[in-house]
Structure 1
Amino acid sequence: MKVRCERIVSMVRGGAVAYKGVFQPECLSVNPSARLQATLDLVQEIDHVARPVDAVVSAWFRTRRYIDDRDRGLILETVYSLLRHHARLGWWLEGQGREDVPRNRLIAWLALKEGRTADQVKSLFSGAKFSPAVLSEREEALLAKLEGHAIDHPAMPEEVRLECPDWAAGALRARFGEAFADEMAAMLTAAPLDLRVNPVKAMRDDMLRALKGFGVKAQASALAPYGIRVDERLSLARLPMLKSGEVEIQDEGSQLVALLVDARPGERVVDFCAGAGGKTLAIAAQMDNRGHVIACDVSEGRLKRGAERFRRAGLHNIQTRLLASETDKWVKRHKGGFDRVLVDAPCSGTGTWRRNPDARWRSPEEKGLDALVAMQARILASAARLVKPGGRLVYATCSMLPAENEDQVAAFLAAHPGFKPVPLKDVAPQVTNSAHLDYLALTPARHDTDGFFAAVMQREAAPTPDAAAIS
């Protein structure tokens, strides 16, 4: 695992890999112990780097291109499974008086979840080249205590069994009531792979046929009109339509949020917290490349990544704008100048725990949820200034916490009587959403999407001058 290389250029021969003419022993594909060591290396990297897991994983694999797609998939499957069982593994280790470190976590996983015997685990920790070091006496004692047990235990608190962190448990229980356990259990499943067809370049039926031609199992999304759900795990390098801009990766819930903006050709639209531009792309495509979309963000790096995606998608009606803050002078200069404004606010990300299982163990922002909610309120109030009379403001989060969603919108409407909520049935009648009449509220358990919230609000039209007064 010390090898650094660009690519494997030959083939596996008798358990050795030919790389640039030099045989390297112990290919991962034929050596489960080497694959386990690679998994351990990645978990240790995640533990020591204060960055989101997806960014760490991407950087880690970029420097290890000799790991093929099959091994990459198996390593990632184990890493994300460990993250989805973080609280339960920690509970077992604490109960045995053991430190919660990557090796102990992996030993516990192999015994408790994979059901490996002590001898099987010891054979994986063989100490051979490219393999994990031999188990210490203390690690063997831990393994002996865990052998024969299952990962779930009757004595576990419900929050531990459902992997729900203390900082969010109270609010989520209040939100879901009796459905709390079902909703949290759904958050422990792997997120699906959703694609959005770019209507400027392609039709959904054509893309479904193309995917079938590549041997990919896929179907039209249940709710999003341009969505496709891929029914298998696959290397995205297999999909040339991603490189051509005919499709984009986007969760079905995110697609529906963009749909609520209801942008029309020729209109002026702002995506106020655009990030890397996923919803901006969907909005610009709604407008059939006509009109003007401005993607704003406080991160220059995210905007640059977005600009690359816009070009690939063949969308020319998008302009990026770097803001110093939510109260940038640009906002004041363009007051009342836009038909539609989307505020996809920074949030706790509770709705994305399926695809970002590490996020649940990072309390939102350094100063806590209250500070995050206050920032959302400032962003929403500032962005609202951009909406012209008669125009619409869409507030969205990928959170399931009422403080960031319903409570946030209620506070905004109370402070801004010139805005009124637009009922969901008037903007997204295809979404089954019995819990709300005014707002979009998606959850993994009910909709099999990420957890999303969105509210559409309309600014009162400018008063019409009285005809008698004019005469």
Structure 2
Amino acid sequence: MTPSARIQAAIDLLDAIIVSARDGGPAADTLIARYFKARRYAGSRDRRAVRDHVYDAIRRAGDRPDSGRAAMVGLARERPELAACFDGSAHGPAPIDPDEPAAPAGGVPAWLAPLIAAPVEQDGLLGRAPVDLRVNRLKATLGDAALLLPDAAAITGLPDALRLPEGSPVEQSEAWKKGLVEVQDAGSQMIALACDAKPGMTVVDLCAGAGGKTLALAAAMAGKGALIAADAIRSRLARLGPRAERAGATFIETLLLDQGHEAGALASLGGQVDVVLVDAPCSGTGTWRRNPEARWRLTPARLDRLVAEQARILDFAAPLLAPGGTLVYATCALTEREGRDQVDGFLTRHAGWAALPLNLPLGRAHGAGVLLTPGHDGTDGFFFAALRRTP
């Protein structure tokens, strides 16, 4: 592919990504993979160059552009070497008209900017993310894993964390194949630390998904006690089984919930659980380094639905806790509505609960909880709080 043809390919892909973001279709990575599967003539350098153009354009535009061309023209006006590729050649894009509209630059969609937590460094939300690993204490020590991963560096303050450069092929490593490590962002590991799960406890991961935090809790519990991974989406929960087997965390129980009827399925656990983790469905604003086009998918109406769902989950989670038990609420979101305001609302609705102080190596105190941001902590963005049911 010529440089101009690569630009046109990026424009075509951006058109598809913009439509998919608007209509709730497949993610950018999926669309890019499909595009090149149908174009075998594109070599590895072509694929890498086109992908870089696409993601550079996505990261630059805060609001969803009108078209892929508008997104690329905006980028090209900042990069003369790209502008030169708009040459009207056989497989390239038409020249740029000086009066042609272009997607404006921005980190956060205009409607969302006032809702983001004040200490968030917005420039840091869209940088490229490293690959963070959690060493699985059921099978290895930090030193054991580090020997198999010579490019990994320890993360200060996190006892089981290693960091690799962005794009490292972890799943090809012996450490991963043997279950010695799991891919888990350092911020996500912090949330598991905040749970303070111990051997012999009864612990429920209420929105477990594919089980990343469940496996961290299993290691903290040393495989002893009762650990229940619950979720309302069967396909996500099904992914936990193979991961748990590879990690040696075979004591985990899974519980498929019927959305809207969760309280009945959980009734037998009422008042008996030591720790409940609610890693709630959220806007994902803290994960934009990994999924930058997610900015184009979020709408005010969707945010309203997510906030309502978070409150609903907290309300049916609360009765599960034994007196003195801990409810950890977490989101990979950076809006005040999903973080500080959500916890304040819970404490207003429920008597007999108090926020616990958290002495952790990363993050900043934010209301009743802790805020992690890429710019301040080098992690994905998270808000989390630990709430104690008073004896």
Question: If the TM-score is normalised by the length of the shorter chain, which range does it land in?
Answer: 0.7 to 0.9
Unaligned residue ranges in structure 1 (runs of 5+): 1-27, 91-99, 128-132, 462-471
Q: Within 2, Cα distance between the matches of 1:36 and 1:317?
A: 51
Larger CA deviation: 409-418 vs 376-385:
409-418
Give the distance between the partners of 1:71 and 1:167, measured in 2 at CA: 36
1:232 shift after superposition: 4.4
Q: Deviations over 1:244-296 (max 9, x none)?
A: 32211111101101111111112111100011111111111111111121111
Give the direction of change, closer, same or farther, for the CA distance of 1:59–1:391 in structure 2 (3 Å limit): farther
Pick the aligned partner of 1:170 from 114, 133, 137. 114
Instruction: Say whether 1:354 aligns with 2:289.
Output: yes
Q: 2:270 aligned to 320, 329, 335, which one?
A: 335
Say whether residues 1:445 and 2:375 are aligned partners: yes
What is the SS of the residue equivalent to 1:320? Answer: strand
Letter in 2 for 1:227: A
The question of whether the paired residues in 1 share the 8 Å contact of 2:7 and 2:85 is answered with: no
Letter in 2 for 1:360: R
2:362 corresponds to: 431
How far apart, CA to CA, are the structure 1 residues paired with 2:37 and 2:353? 48
Residue of structure 2 in register with 1:7 after alignment: none
1:76 to 40, 51, 56: 51
- The residue correspondences of 1:111-190 to structure 2 (distance < 5 A) are 111-116=76-81, 119-122=84-87, 126-127=89-90, 133-135=91-93, 139-142=94-97, 161-172=105-116, 175-176=117-118, 183-190=121-128
Residue 358 of structure 1: SS of its match in structure 2?
Answer: helix
CA RMSD of aligned residues (A): 2.8
AA of the residue aligned to 1:411 = G
In structure 2, what is the equivalent of residue 469 of structure 1? none
Cα pair distance change 1:119/1:458, threshold 3 Å: closer
* Deviation at residue 431 of structure 1 after TM alignment: 3.1
Task: Provide the residue aligned with 2:207 in structure 1.
Answer: 273
| Contact map agreement 2:148 2:174 (CA 8 A) in 1 | no
Contact 1:424-1:437 within 8 A present in 2 as well: no
Q: Does 1:196 align with 2:111?
A: no
Cα distance in structure 2, aligned partners of 1:89 and 1:324: 34
The answer to whether residue 391 in structure 2 is matched with residue 456 in structure 1 is: no
Equivalences for 1:204-215 in 2 at 5 Å?
Answer: 204-212=142-150
**Counterparts of 1:301 and 1:89 in 2: how far apart (Å)?**
29
Equivalent residues in 2 for 1:237-252 (5 A)? Answer: 237-252=171-186
Give the Cα separation in 1 of the matches to 2:79 and 2:203. 51
Deviation at 1:107, TM superposition (A): 4.4
Task: Could you tell me which runs of 5 or more consecutive residues in structure 2 were left unpaired when the two chains were aligned.
Answer: none
CA deviation string 1:291-323 (max 9, x = no partner): 121111111000011222111211112111111
1:312 aligns with 2:246: yes
State the identity as a percent. Answer: 41
Q: How many residues align?
A: 385
- Structure with larger RCO (C-alpha < 8 A, sep 6+): 2
Deviation digits for residues 32-53 of structure 1 (CA, Å, limit 9, x no counterpart): 4565455445434423432333
Q: CA deviation at 1:374?
A: 1.7
Residues 24-70 of structure 1: CA distance to partner in whole angstroms, max 9, x if unpaired? xxxx6xx5456545544543442343233344445656777886665
